[in-house]
Amino acid sequence: MVDQPVDVAVIGGGPAGLAAAIKAREAGAERVTIIERSESLGGLLDQCIHTGFGLFYFREDLTGPEYAHRFIERATDLGVKTQLETMVLDITSDRKITATGKDGMVALEARAIVLAMGCRERTRESVMIPGTRPAGILTAGTAQRYVNVDGFIPGKDIVILGSGDIGMIMARRLAMEGTNVKAVVEILPYVGGLIRNEVQCLYDFDIPVFLEHTVVEVHGRQRVEGVTIAKLDKSQELMPGTERLIGCDTLLLSVGLIPENEVSLAAGVKLNPLTGGPIVDDRRETSIPGIFAAGNVVHVHDLVDNVTWEGELAGVFAAEYAMAKAVPVKRRITMEVGENIRYVVPNHICPEREVTIYVRVKEPQEKVSIKVGDITTKSYRAVKPSEMIKLELSRNELGKIKEGVKTLIVNCQKRGREDDKGTGNYLHYVSDGLSGEGGR
């Protein structure tokens, strides 16, 4: 066991962790260490060989590895230390870290910690797909690794359950590999994930989409031999007579992502049941002072660019905390969810600092206004759960928060009444807020 004191320890070397480490160094923290459990930095970006990364952050269209590379280089230049193939086992509330790696057990004491462990995919059991348990059932992200990193194709005839972004991207990827993507099956009446993925991955590749359908049984003893899909009614009950058997050797699942917070829980960090991630303030500080969190560990993002921004925020404030320069919070406002809002991040803001809040709606809606307390109202032509809404609150708007106000409720409400009948012909949204990081 080696004892090494560090200023900022970053758990996880994906996009959030890299951004946090870089900003922490730039903000003046001397000893910044990233602890990463896999063989290389970049997190899941190394398996995302498609483009679409950095459109907002760099105003360039990059692949995942290219996007990651820029941050890995910058971190290396800044002297950020990395411990690869090292997995954090435990964190205490006073920021002692225990990890294990090829060099044995590692004990680390950190002045500040940034949690950036990302998320994991929901599995077959979390959506209860009955039937046999053969080989050939994989999550879309696992399949992506097999195809893009290892260079192997799981099967020839593919059915994909869930139209989250990773699922759609894998539909395209596997079609390009010469497989027969026989169906993308979505339980909701609309395709999930980002519109650009729906167009570029499904429509452009003529992949059949079955909406309001789900997989009701898996067949095959050793290897998947087929799946039965069926249509569901409005209350998500199976409609008898709609079952159809699709012969396939592979079933990919793209049914949502879950923030990975086992280590956060060990430290005693409080989680927000609405996001599955830690409760954070505008600095991304968790319920435990000196422990910050950013990226998909906080809430599942659609775009890596937003993950980076969130990581930067956590990095800057973690550095401040480590150097004992943190400005004491005079006043804390709690953000609460109102009508048609699934969640708001951060959970707490400070009226003295400009802040960007991230909002995800529950249901798709057209012609709405999103109100933050009584300080601001913004109008949107359409909102949907798959696309996160960013609201920048200016100093001016924050100044409108009256003395004594402790909470701000965020509401998403319909504007006017005149357009109740038409929902338009091009409305896309996802089953839940967890359906995917669009960049993947």
Partner 1 sequence: MGDLSRADGMRTKVAKPLETQVVIIGGGVAGTNVARELSKYKVDVILVERDADVAAGESKSNHGFVYSSIGILDAFSLVLKSAVSGGGAKLFDKETMKVKWSMEGYDLFESLAKELDLPYTNPGCLIIARNKEEVKGLEGLVDISKIMSEETGRECIPRWLGREEVLALEPNVTPDAVCGIYDDRWCKLIYPWDLSIALAESARENGARMIFNAEVLKVTCQNGGFTVETAQGPIKTQFIVNAAGRGVAAVAGMAGVCDFGLNFNRSQMVLMDKRLKGTANNIVFVPPKPGWFGAVVPRREGNLYVSCGAYYPTQRWEAENTATRKEWFFECITEGQRIFPSISERDVIASFVGVRVFNTRNPDDHIVEVTKNPRFINMAVRLPGNAFCIAAAKHVAEMLGNQGLQLSGKMDFNSQRKAIPRVNELPCEERDALDACDPRYGHIVCRCEGVTEGEIVEAIRRGATTVQGIQFRTRAGMGRCQRGFCGPRVVEILSRELDIPKTEVSFKGPGSEILLYRGKELL
CB of residue 141 to partner 1, shortest distance in Å: 7
Q: Does 142 bind partner 1 (CB under 8 A)?
A: yes
Site for partner 1 in 222-241 (CB under 8 A): 222-223
Site for partner 1 in 22-81 (CB under 8 A): 37
CB of residue 36 to partner 1, shortest distance in Å: 12
Euclidean distance between CA atoms 398 and 373, whole angstroms: 10
Out of 154, 164, 311, 364, the residue judged to bind partner 1 by CB under 8 A: 154
The torsion angles phi and psi of 131, rounded to 5 degrees, stand at 125, -160
Binding segment toward partner 1, per CB under 8 A, in 151-159, 193-201, 312-320, 355-363: 151-159
- What's the one-letter identity of residue 177? E
Q: Does 155 bind partner 1 (CB under 8 A)?
A: yes
Binding segment toward partner 1, per CB under 8 A, in 103-111, 162-170, 359-367, 374-382: 103-111
Out of 7, 36, 46, 121, the residue judged to bind partner 1 by CB under 8 A: 121
Q: Does 124 bind partner 1 (CB under 8 A)?
A: yes
Q: Does 243 bind partner 1 (CB under 8 A)?
A: no
Euclidean distance between CA atoms 52 and 207, whole angstroms: 20
Euclidean distance between CA atoms 41 and 69, whole angstroms: 9
Residues in the chain: 440
Contact 98, 186 (CB under 8 A): no
Q: Does 149 bind partner 1 (CB under 8 A)?
A: yes
Q: At what angle do helices 64-77 and 304-322 cross, to 10 degrees?
A: 20
Binding segment toward partner 1, per CB under 8 A, in 175-183, 304-312, 348-356, 395-403: 175-183
Binding segment toward partner 1, per CB under 8 A, in 3-11, 133-141, 285-293, 364-372: 133-141
Binding segment toward partner 1, per CB under 8 A, in 73-81, 212-220, 291-299, 328-336: 212-220
**What are the tokens at 380?**
């949107």
Euclidean distance between CA atoms 89 and 105, whole angstroms: 10
**What are the tokens at 267?**
């430290």
Residue 404 CA to chain centroid, in angstroms?
34
Q: Does 102 bind partner 1 (CB under 8 A)?
A: yes
Binding segment toward partner 1, per CB under 8 A, in 6-14, 138-146, 351-359, 418-426: 138-146
Q: Does 5 bind partner 1 (CB under 8 A)?
A: no
Question: Among residues 104 and 247, whose Cβ is nearest to partner 1?
Answer: 104
Contact 183, 168 (CB under 8 A): no
Out of 195, 211, 216, 391, the residue judged to bind partner 1 by CB under 8 A: 216
Out of 26, 101, 195, 266, the residue judged to bind partner 1 by CB under 8 A: 101
Contact 67, 12 (CB under 8 A): no
DSSP 39: S
Report whether the peptide linkage leading into residue 346 is cis, meaning its omega lies within 30 degrees of zero. yes
Q: Does 437 bind partner 1 (CB under 8 A)?
A: no
Euclidean distance between CA atoms 217 and 94, whole angstroms: 48
Euclidean distance between CA atoms 311 and 351, whole angstroms: 21
**What are the tokens at 123?**
């599995």
Q: Does 273 bind partner 1 (CB under 8 A)?
A: no
Euclidean distance between CA atoms 137 and 266, whole angstroms: 31
Euclidean distance between CA atoms 226 and 165, whole angstroms: 23
Out of 105, 199, 239, 327, the residue judged to bind partner 1 by CB under 8 A: 105
CB of residue 250 to partner 1, shortest distance in Å: 8
CB of residue 253 to partner 1, shortest distance in Å: 9
Binding segment toward partner 1, per CB under 8 A, in 58-66, 139-147, 306-314, 429-437: 139-147
The torsion angles phi and psi of 150, rounded to 5 degrees, stand at -85, -20
Q: Does 163 bind partner 1 (CB under 8 A)?
A: no
How would you classify the pairing of strands 81-83 and 333-337?
Answer: unpaired
Q: Does 125 bind partner 1 (CB under 8 A)?
A: yes
Question: Residue 132 to residues 216, 221, 222: CA-CA distances in angstroms?
Answer: 11, 6, 9
Out of 49, 55, 135, 195, the residue judged to bind partner 1 by CB under 8 A: 135
CB of residue 179 to partner 1, shortest distance in Å: 6
Nearest-Å Rg of the Cα atoms of the chain is 22
Contact positions vs partner 1 (CB under 8 A) = 1, 37, 85, 87, 89, 98, 100-105, 120-121, 123-126, 128, 130-136, 138-139, 141-142, 145-147, 149-156, 177-179, 216-218, 221-223, 249-250
